[in-house]
Amino acid sequence: MLFSSKFHTKMERDFTLTTYSYLLEHLSKAGYLFQTFEEFTLNPGNDKIAILRHDVDRAPENSVKMAKLENSMNIKASYYFRIVSESYDENCIESIVKLNHELGYHYEDLALSNGIEEQAFENFKKNLQNLRRFYPIKTMCMHGSPTSKWDNRLLWNTYKYKDFGIIAEPYFDIDFNQVFYITDASRSWNNQEVTLRDKVKSDFDIDINSSSDIINLINNQKLPNKVMISTHPHNWAASNMEWAKILIWQGMKNQIKRILVRKA
């Protein structure tokens, strides 16, 4: 994939850390300020803003690589960790916090409790308290739990997360008619065919199929002034072998996701 960049002119695959660095460079050059979700919630301002949100669904070591890259560019981002073993890694969490990034809770308590609200709420409180040992968590974000029939956001029909010092959850507290939402869920960009819950209602009608599409929008001054870019670090590879493995594995998983989305 060829990027029209004064920084880089070589061919580069999408979903590599090199490609991600290209994207950050172009955002910075175009005048976007990088904010964590916590910072944006407290002070959204009137400038060009890019909120970098990372959902650490699995392979937490990949999130550390991404966090180090951002830190080397003096960029802060928000990292949301699940409580399950494939995501929760205290060494990785501590490394990311030391790199000056925001830590948040990627909650899925309702799905893990099979829809039992009282149990889910107790687990939420316990898990939030546990993660706050590493960082004074102020924001959280639901995990889509595509194989579960339970939408984790439904817990907040009964309880109030703001009673526990949480100031924002993006699916509830961002006006996505003002903030353009971009997600790489299922290793494809804003692809609703394979995304069960990681989608938003928005008046923006902008087609994105690759990182180069985002860069072209930036270069042509067509990217909205406020964007949330939601990525999953396990989708982004640091080597060719890792890139190929992710491509094959996610391709098989997406076939199942398409069926789940059609049935929803």
76-99 pLDDT, tens per residue? Answer: 999 999 999 999 999 999 999 999
- In 3D space, the residue among 20, 51, 22, 53 whose CA is nearest the CA of residue 226 turns out to be 51
The CATH number of residue 229's host domain is 3.20.20.370
**Predicted confidence band of residue 185 (pLDDT cuts 50, 70, 90):** confident
Q: Decide: residue 220, CB within 10 A, 0-12 exposed, 13-18 middle, 19+ buried.
A: exposed
Please give the average per-residue pLDDT across 210-235, as a whole number. 96
5 part of a folded domain: no
| Least confident among 54-58, 62-66, 145-149, 221-225 | 145-149
Looking at the structure of the chain, the number of domains it has is: 1
128-169 pLDDT, tens per residue? Answer: 999 999 999 999 999 988 888 999 999 999 999 999 999 999
7 part of a folded domain: no
Looking at residue 209, what DSSP letter applies? Answer: -
2 part of a folded domain: no
Query: What values do phi and psi take at 19, rounded to 5?
Result: -60, -40
| Least confident among 2-16, 91-105, 184-198, 205-219 | 2-16
6 part of a folded domain: no
Q: Where are the beta strands (DSSP E) in the chain?
A: 33-35, 49-56, 78-81, 102-107, 140-142, 180-183, 226-231
3 part of a folded domain: no
51 part of a folded domain: yes
Written as six digits, the tokens of 157 are: 């029909």
Does residue 111 register a pLDDT over 80? yes
236 part of a folded domain: yes
What is the span of the domain harbouring residue 224? 17-263
